[in-house]
Amino acid sequence: MNGAQALIESLKREQVEQIFGYAGATICPAADALKDTPEIAYTLVRTEQNAGHMASGYARVSGKVGVCMVTSGPGATNLITGIATAYMDSIPIVAITGQVPSHLLGRDIFQEVDITGAVAPFSKHSYLVKHVNDIPRIVREAFHIASTGRPGPVLIDIPIDIQQAQLKKFEWPETVNIRGYKPSVKGNDLQIKRVAATIAKAKQPLICAGGGVWLADAREELLELAERAHIPVVKTMMGISLMPTDHPLNMGMIGAHGNHCANQALAKSDLLIMVGTRAADRAITSPDEIQRRMATIHIDVDPAEIGKNMQAAVPLVGNVKVILRQLLDLDIPVSDSADWLAKLRDYRKAELGRVFPQRPGSVFPGTAVRRLGAKLDDDAVVCVDVGQNQIFTCKYLPQKHGRLLTSGGLGTMGYALPAAIGAKTALPDRQTIVVCGDGSFQMSMNELAAIKAGNLDIKILLFRNHTLGLVHQIQQTPPYHGPFGVDLDGSPDFETIASAYGIPTITVTEEDQLDESIDHFLAHKGCCLMICQVHPSVSTTD
């Protein structure tokens, strides 16, 4: 057995069923071994960055570790944005890169790059494999590190000579023991009691739930806590689909681009319970203010998040699901929050009933996502890109019991389409939707090839306003002096592009066509593109 075969055998032991990749010279031995492994499906991407995003989409909906595999040099550097995107959202992926022969490392030979060095600041860990016999242990450790504690991307860089070298014996380690890596699981009992006591005293408590709740698979526990203690819930962008829109405790998304109701709740609460969120600037714009005005509880698996962006009065470190279960096992008192809830529900009602502006010859994105959401399956997976399309979708798409995937931390344009391919590959029976703008679509429309090759039923809603809308919006606000470099001149006719891949298009230019068009769009068997014409001066604050 050679190193490449040991790698693939190790992936099989980790129950890997899918790899997203791009071939190249230094990863050929691994490709060769994969060829004889029908248990692992392979999707060829059109640029390596998207292999990372596909692995991310796959991981997020399946709860498994996503795997991508690319070649050395430019293959590896192209993948960097995919790795950084996964890191910022704590998504468990294992990235495998080919590398030049080990005896030539450091000589700047063809397609050599120091990828472990390059990804160090935004990967959870990385390995440069030096001995072929280490491969099983390294793969085992990489999956363990990627998927436990605070999840994140792990990179394994394997020189081609190591892939070709013969193993003495394939030894699969039954357990993982890394002395420097022991993530906390259970919450400190004393702190749990303090949390319960703090909740009992609050009159206007508020839960702020983030992506960490999804990562710990703690959605049910979160809802149980909120419902039992009568605590309203706001979410960060990463936690948006944790609760259906019509849930009586759901107060929407907080943040600079969030819902008015959620931000009002945050401003007026007397106890903020942060669960699986790092309180980054886009969600909580003034952490000092919040610290000063209200008591805070911070539940997170990563001890470094406690006090990083905000000092919490009561920190609680451990697995979010385990901690919430520990809390629920206590007799959590019901908050006396009736007045508080009544007030928030008025805000919420006003916001949900908000009438959007209308312009003849165009569609307002908020209107489109509202109508689309009403018609989606109960468990649909919606992948949304970055920009105005993201803000409108996160703010106004009615949530049911599905998922919303977006690049929340890094804000990587072009994420949605490949993430949807990953998600659809993991869960082929789930309705999968992409929402993007004409800027972000052009960053990853080459992956229509992967959709076609995989015959994937993915629906793409494209907002076309011929500009980078959100940047346009920023540039029209002081201190800037107007739009520059944001008009998407030279954009292709997207209908022709889609038809080149055999994908039909529905174009909507008037809002009264929306309902019928969405019906056709969703009823179509296979991939379909729906283009909504959006006025270039539309703002997310309209």
Query: How long is the chain?
Result: 542
CB closer to another protein out of 9 and 157:
157
CB closer to another protein out of 308 and 400:
308
**How far is 94 from 155, CA to CA, in rounded Å?**
6
What's the closest the beta carbon of residue 299 comes to another protein, in angstroms?
16
What's the closest the beta carbon of residue 77 comes to another protein, in angstroms?
18
Strands across the sheet with 125-128, in order? Answer: 41-44, 18-21, 66-70, 93-99, 154-159, 125-128
What's the closest the beta carbon of residue 146 comes to another protein, in angstroms?
11
CB closer to another protein out of 231 and 316:
316
CB closer to another protein out of 11 and 317:
317
**């991981």: which residue's tokens?**
59
Is the CA virtual torsion 211, 213, 216, 219 positive or negative?
negative
What's the closest the beta carbon of residue 67 comes to another protein, in angstroms?
19
What's the closest the beta carbon of residue 303 comes to another protein, in angstroms?
6
Question: Could you count the other beta carbons within 10 Å of the beta carbon of residue 464?
Answer: 22
CB closer to another protein out of 127 and 521:
127
What DSSP line would sit under 332-369, residue for residue?
PPPP--HHHHHHHHHHHHHHHTPPPP--TTS--HHHHH
Close Cβ partners of 510 (under 8 Å, ≥ 6 residues apart): 360, 361, 363
Using alpha carbons only, what angle is made at residue 43 by residues 37 and 48, rounded to the nearest 5 degrees? 120
CB closer to another protein out of 124 and 348:
124
CB closer to another protein out of 116 and 250:
116
What's the closest the beta carbon of residue 291 comes to another protein, in angstroms?
13
What DSSP line would sit under 152-218, residue for residue?
--EEEEEEHHHHHSBPS-----SS---TT-----SPPHHHHHHHHHHHHH-SSEEEEE-HHHHHTT-
CB closer to another protein out of 53 and 144:
144
What's the closest the beta carbon of residue 106 comes to another protein, in angstroms?
12
Q: Is the peptide bond before 479 cis (omega within 30 degrees of 0)?
A: yes
Is the CA virtual torsion 231, 237, 239, 244 positive or negative?
positive
What's the closest the beta carbon of residue 289 comes to another protein, in angstroms?
18
Q: Would you tell me which residues interact with another protein (CB under 8 A)?
A: 116-117, 120-121, 124-125, 128, 145, 178-181, 302-304, 306-308
Strands across the sheet with 528-533, in order? Answer: 403-405, 381-384, 432-437, 458-464, 528-533, 505-508
What is the distance, to the nearest Å, from the Cα of residue 40 to the centroid of all Cα atoms in its chain? 24
**How far is 18 from 133, CA to CA, in rounded Å?**
24
What's the closest the beta carbon of residue 311 comes to another protein, in angstroms?
9
CB closer to another protein out of 127 and 463:
127
**């909504």: which residue's tokens?**
532
Q: Return phi, psi of residue 432, to 5°.
A: -125, 125
